Amino acid sequence: MAAQSTIEQRERTAPAGATASATRRPGGAGAGLLRFARNTWRPAAVLVAILLVWWMVTAADLVKPYLVPSPGTTLDVVLAQPGYFAHHTWITTYETVLGFAIAIVVGVLSAVVMVYSPTVEKSLYPLLLFAQVIPKIAIAPLFIVWLGFGLSPKVVVAVLMAFFPIVISTVTGMKSIDPEMLQLSATMGAGPAQTFRKIRFPAALPHLFAGLKVAATMAVTGAVVGEFVGANEGLGYVILQANGNLDTPTLFAGLIIMSLLGVVLFVVVELLEYLVLPWHASRRTDSATTTL
C-alpha cells in the first residue's frame, strides 16, 4: 500500500513528457479560470477574517466610533448615498483606467524603441529614472497649473506612476530572449518585424504582465494623488472632504472603495494573464500563482 503510493507519487512528479502527457495538459481558457478560482478562496478567507476582527473591535467598544466606525456604519454611509459614491468612484476609475491604458501604449512603445536602438536607450534611461524618482505628489500641483482643474492632470499623474514599471519589465522581457533563438530566426530569413511579432514580443509577455500588475496599482495611486492636489470630484476629493469634516465613516468608505478599485484592476490584469499565457501559468505551482 505504502509502496504503491510512493510509486504513484513518483509518476506524478516525474518530468512531464516522459509519459505521453499531451492529453492531460492543464491548459486552455476554461482550465485557467478554474485554477484562478481555486487560488482566490484563501485571500477571500483572510479578508473575511479581517472584517470580522474589525467588527468585533467596534462592537466591543474598544475604540471610539468617531475614530474607527463599525463596518455597519461604513456600509450605511455608502447605502445612504449610492449615487454620490458611484459618481466619484466612476471618476477615479475613469482617470485610473485611462492613465493605465496610456501608460501601456507609451510604455511598451518606448520599450520597443529602446530595445532596438541602444542609442535611444542610453539617452532615454536617465530621463526615465529622473521621471520615476521625482515625487509625484510634488509635481502634481504643477500639472494642475498647466492643465487646469479637470481630469487631465490626474490622468497624467496616473500615467507617470504606471509608466515606469511597464517600460522596465518590457525591456527586460525583450532582452531575456535566448540569443540562439534570434540567430535561428536569421537563418529562417525572418525580418525584424517577423522576429518581433513571432518571437521577441511573445517571449516578453510574462515580464510585461509582471510589470502591468505593479503598474495597475500605481495607476490608482496616481489618480488619487492628482485628486488630492486639486479636484472637485473623485475618491481623493471624497476622502479629503470627509477628513475635513471628521466624517470617519465616509473616509473609511472612500478608502475601502479605493483599495477595491486597485484590487479589481489588479485581478483583471491577472485574469488576462491567465487567459493570454496559459503556457506560462501552467508551469507554476499552485502556491505561487497569485499575490492576492
Partner 1 sequence: MTVGNTTTQRSADATGTGATVEIDEVAVRFRTKKKDVTALRDVSLRIEPGEFVAIVGASGCGKSTLLKLVSGLLRPSSGQVRLHGEDVRGPRRDIGYIFQRAALLEWRTARRNILLQAEMRGMPKAQARQRVDELIAMTGLTGFEDAYPNELSGGMQQRVALCRALLHRPPVLLMDEPFGALDALTREQMNVELRRIWRETGTTVLLVTHSIAEAVYLANRVIVMTPRPGTVAEVIDVDLPVERDYGQTMSAPEFARATGRIRDLLGATTTAE
Radius of gyration, alpha carbons of the chain: 24
Which residue in this structure is represented by grid cell 485628486?
A: 227
Give the binding range for partner 1 (CB under 8 A) out of 142-150, 153-161, 166-174, 274-282: 274-282
In angstroms, rounded to a whole number, what is the distance separating the alpha carbons of residues 63 and 147?
43
Site string for partner 1, 69-108 (x = CB under 8 A): ----------------------------------------
Q: Which of 187, 285, 287, 291 binds partner 1 (CB under 8 A)?
A: 187
- Reference 163, options 206, 210, 216, 118; nearest CA is 216
Residues 159-178 contacting partner 1, CB under 8 A: 178
Q: Which of 9, 117, 176, 194 binds partner 1 (CB under 8 A)?
A: 194
Give the binding range for partner 1 (CB under 8 A) out of 48-56, 150-158, 194-202, 217-225: 194-202
Give the binding range for partner 1 (CB under 8 A) out of 179-187, 212-220, 239-247, 284-292: 179-187
Q: Which of 38, 64, 283, 284 binds partner 1 (CB under 8 A)?
A: 283
- Binding to partner 1 by residue 180, rule CB under 8 A? yes
Apex 289 CA angle, 288 and 292, nearest 5? 100
Q: How many CA atoms, within 13 angstroms, populate the side-chain half-sphere of residue 61?
A: 0
Residues 17-46 contacting partner 1, CB under 8 A: 17-18, 20-22, 25, 27
Q: Which of 4, 189, 244, 288 binds partner 1 (CB under 8 A)?
A: 189
In angstroms, rounded to a whole number, what is the distance separating the alpha carbons of residues 159 and 196?
25
> Is 208 in contact with 165 (CB distance < 8 Å)?
no
- Binding to partner 1 by residue 16, rule CB under 8 A? yes
- Binding to partner 1 by residue 181, rule CB under 8 A? yes
User: What is the rounded end-to-end Cα distance, in angstroms, of the chain?
Assistant: 39
Apex 160 CA angle, 158 and 166, nearest 5? 100
SS3 category, 283: coil
- Binding to partner 1 by residue 280, rule CB under 8 A? yes
Q: Which of 199, 212, 253, 258 binds partner 1 (CB under 8 A)?
A: 199
C-alpha cell at 8: 504513484
Q: Kindly determine how many residues on this chain lie close enough to bind partner 1 according to the rule CB under 8 A.
A: 30
The angle, 0 to 180 degrees and rounded to 10, between the axes of the packed helices 71-80 and 82-116 is 100
- Reference 168, options 129, 116, 139; nearest CA is 129
Nearest approach, Cβ of residue 178 and partner 1 (Å): 6
Nearest approach, Cβ of residue 281 and partner 1 (Å): 11
Residues found near partner 1 in the complex (CB under 8 A)? 15-18, 20-22, 25, 27, 178, 180-181, 183-190, 194, 198-199, 202-203, 277, 279-280, 282-283
